[in-house]
Chain A
Amino acid sequence: MNLTVRVFASYADALGANTATISVSEPATVGAVRAAVAALSPSLPPRPLIAVNEEYATDDVTVNATDDVAVIPPVAGG
């Protein structure tokens, strides 16, 4: 399935957009999403976290087409 994911900060700059569309086979997992995102560009920073429906999710979590998926680069608030 095709999945549009939110991207932020350095990822948004590297990809030139606030979202990215990736293709993952079903049943899809967060780990598969992470790998597909990494394949979009060689210049992406390493080790992003993935959020599903606004909560951090581990690699084994299943992702559905209707989920709100976001790529979270290392955070730097404060």
Chain B
Amino acid sequence: MSRSGIVTAPIDVDAIVNEVRAPGNGAIATFLGTVRNRSDSRTVVSLEYSAYTGMANREMEAIVREAIALAPGVQIVAVHRVGNLDVGDTCVMIAAAHPHRGPAFDACRYAIEEIKKRVPIWKRERYADGSTVWIEACATDSHRTPINA
């Protein structure tokens, strides 16, 4: 069964892989997003993710439906964690299973790219000096709004 959602508890990678493991599925493609310790050469000590939860759940459900349309027969689980996360923690996970690897990879890649583009989730980096910055559009400094802690 495919599903998706915003979660607050730590992501249990093995449990999610086992949700899509099935005798007919010869391929399981997984993607984990983890909290990185560097951002534009600054040392990140933790991240706070927040979401517009209702809409984020709806967008993730739509993305899963689209991934299944793109790769018929795929079973996919997509979850994104919110709250305070430490460096190394898993913030997002996709597991896509299919009889063959091509559609599994396709569905997994589609889901993570669309989650990053569309799902209303924001992250605030906290640095070693105690300051924090909301990361927006995660591309260039011009999109960033410094907030002094």
Give chain A's interface residues, CB within 8 Å of chain B. 6, 8-10, 13-14, 45, 51, 54-56, 70, 72-78
Contact = CB atoms under 8 A, between A and B. Distances in A.
B137 interface: yes
Contacts of A77: 49, 51, 56, 80, 91-92, 115-116, 119, 121-123
Interface of B: 33, 49-52, 54-56, 58, 80, 91-92, 112, 115-124, 134-138, 143, 145, 147
B52 A76 contact: no
A2 B51 CA distance: 25
A75 B50 contact: no
Nearest to B53: A54
B135 A76 contact: yes
Given A10-B145, A54-B58, A75-B117, A45 B136 contact: yes
B116 to A, nearest CB: 4
Of B50, B55, B116, most A-chain CB atoms within 10 Å: B55
Given A13-B147, A45-B136, A51-B52, A76 B91 contact: no
A75 B33 CA distance: 15
